[in-house]
Chains A and B, each alone.
Chain A
Amino acid sequence: MNEVPVLREQRLEDIHGYIFRMPSLSTTVTKTLEICNNPNSSPHELSRVISLDPVLTGQLLKLVNSAYYSLSNKVPSLTRAIIMLGLNTVKNLVLSIAILDSLGGKKAFRAFTPNDFWTHSICTGVVAKSLAAAKGIPLADQEEYFVAGLLHDLGKIPLNSCFPDEYSLALESAGSKQDSLHQAENRVFGMDHSGVGKMIAEKWQLGRTIIDSLLHHHDPDAAGEKTRRFVAVIAMSNFFANFFKIGFAGNNCPDETVAEHLAGQIGLSWASLSGLIDVVSDDIEKARIFLQLTKKG
């Protein structure tokens, strides 16, 4: 650990620089390169590998919603983004990200593995989409729930990569004090992954719903009226992943008291949710096979 406390402003500067060239997960990179380098790969494979990586998904939505396209309506769906951008552009973009040094290098990303982080993110996305379906959200809008779930912990990537020593410390501190990781992050960094997630989502112009999901997934009540119920679904999905220990993104102590509150907020009982375990395990297994990952990753 550094002897001299690093100034918050300096950290923010480091994070800003990192977001500019944020790499994708090592978990998906092999498959991504394989698909992009094979002229016969199907559009479905391409969209699938993107949908399994929070950075690729975020970057693609960033591009389609950016000033380059200056479209009048926000594009929240990956399917729409791919059709509008076209396969060439999507392949080029994805390749340019995949060839950056992927996460999980020797030093960075030490507090938890990219594969565990990946599993946690996918689980949260799949659960969020399933909850949306259970709530009768129209099919076309369910994808945004998946995207928000997939991206909700994006803020952990820069923190864990730029400051690996301190991030491990934050994780230990959360463990010893029996509180949640974002509180420990606040103690160590003076900021937490929700705030960093918001920075990313704002910088990538991902729209209010995604921004709020990243910022408020530990406290949906703080979200604006328009997005509160949406964020509650993401919060519940995150709790689900932590509670059943599907993947790991640093949170050992899911706050059980909030589960009932969240369940009430979204109008579904906690008991009804446990039936999702099979759906989620099945989806993750399929994704693992697709990415050609071994069980241990």
Chain B
Amino acid sequence: MRIRFWGVRGSIPSPGPHTVKYGGNTLCIELRFDELDRLIIIDAGTGIRELGNYLMAQSPPQSTISAEIFLTHTHWDHIQGFPFFTPIYLPKTKLKVYGPVTYEEDTLEDVVGGQWIYRYFPVRYSELSANIEYVQMKEGRLSLGDGIMLTTKYLNHPLLCLGYRFEYEGKVFCTAYDSEPFHNFFSADPADPSYDAAVAREAERVVNEENQRLEDFFSGADLLIYDTQYTQQEYETTKVGWGHSSIEYAIAAAMRSGVRRLALFHHEPTRTDAEIDALSEKYCNPEFTGDVEVFFAGEGMEIEI
């Protein structure tokens, strides 16, 4: 499996002189199975625009571009690049779009395709030339053919959101974003008037179980891409309940679950290159990370597992 980062920034694109090194595009990852000639794309943030241009440049004219696109969820920073993915306007392109939708009655096609209406974009959805098939995803395990197995896991985010675990020829590649550790938002303080012993205890048990399930999901991964939008201090100060994790939590979780390499991902839009470099110096060394190799993902970075 060959993985390439096309967009690593969370929330909103953040171009400018301070994000040149790690990149300002929102989320998009390319996953290649070269010997199978299969292309999987994870998320369609603004990074997918450049990936689309690259695919166009690489493919001979009149050839077919085929890809499977796995959306972790449909928040804007994960789908906003899709209308600018040029292959979608070519009749020979074949796309299979996988993703979860929340409990409302709209389909994945409506949620994603809803971007192509005149008030937001000059092309209507019905005018897209590509052949697009939508597959609504839930938690589970399925074969993608060619010996590729996929396990999906619900993460803790304000919208239904899936982590993806791809297994192929004994190697494991896993995504766990956008995700916040499950936490007990019920009062645990007996002095608090809203304290309820039974609820507090049950909530604590559920939180521990769910966090363990999440670690089981990415356990033993050769590469894990994790949501680390915040530092622990930022998280605790103002970001609890926003649906993202801290760098410190991700590293500790990866260490507990035997992950080999951990890519810190979904960077806070205000984080400058210099700040990431400083964080990298602080956190990405064996003193802090033990056996896990930890790095901050940057646009253009390529990894083979």
Residues of chain A at the chain B interface (Cβ within 8 Å): 42-45, 47-48, 63, 66-71, 77, 79-80, 83-84, 86-89, 93, 139-140, 142-143
Contact = CB atoms under 8 A, between A and B. Distances in A.
Contacts of B160: 68, 89
A86 B242 CA distance: 11
Given A71-B139, A88-B159, A140-B205, A47 B198 contact: no
Nearest to A79: B202
14 contacts: A42-B187, A44-B186, A47-B199, A48-B194, A69-B154, A77-B206, A83-B203, A83-B207, A84-B154, A84-B182, A86-B156, A86-B157, A87-B185, A139-B201
Given A71-B139, A86-B157, A140-B201, A63 B103 contact: yes
A86 B243 CA distance: 9
Nearest to A93: B103
B109 interface: no
B159 A79 contact: no
Given A139-B201, A140-B202, A143-B198, A88 B158 contact: yes
A79 B186 CA distance: 9
Interface string B81-103: 00000000000000000000011
B18 to A, nearest CB: 31
Interface in B197-215: 197-199, 201-203, 205-207, 210
A70 B139 contact: yes
Contacts of A87: 158, 185, 241
Given A42-B194, A44-B186, A143-B198, A69 B138 contact: yes
Interface residues of B, number: 30
10 shortest interchain CB distances as A-B pairs: A88-B158, A44-B194, A43-B185, A70-B138, A79-B202, A80-B206, A68-B103, A83-B206, A139-B198, A79-B203
Contacts, number: 73
Contacts of A66: 103
Contacts of B154: 69, 84
A79 B199 contact: yes
The winner among A71, A77, A142, A143 for most chain B CB atoms within 10 A is A77
B194 to A, nearest CB: 4
Nearest to B195: A44
A270 B281 CA distance: 69
The winner among B103, B138, B187, B203 for most chain A CB atoms within 10 A is B103
Nearest to A80: B206
Contacts of B210: 83-84
Nearest to A48: B194
Contact of B206 (A44, A69, A71, A79): A79
Nearest to A45: B194
A84 B160 CA distance: 10
Contacts of A77: 202, 206
A198 B154 CA distance: 30
Contacts of A139: 197-198, 201-202
A42 B199 CA distance: 14
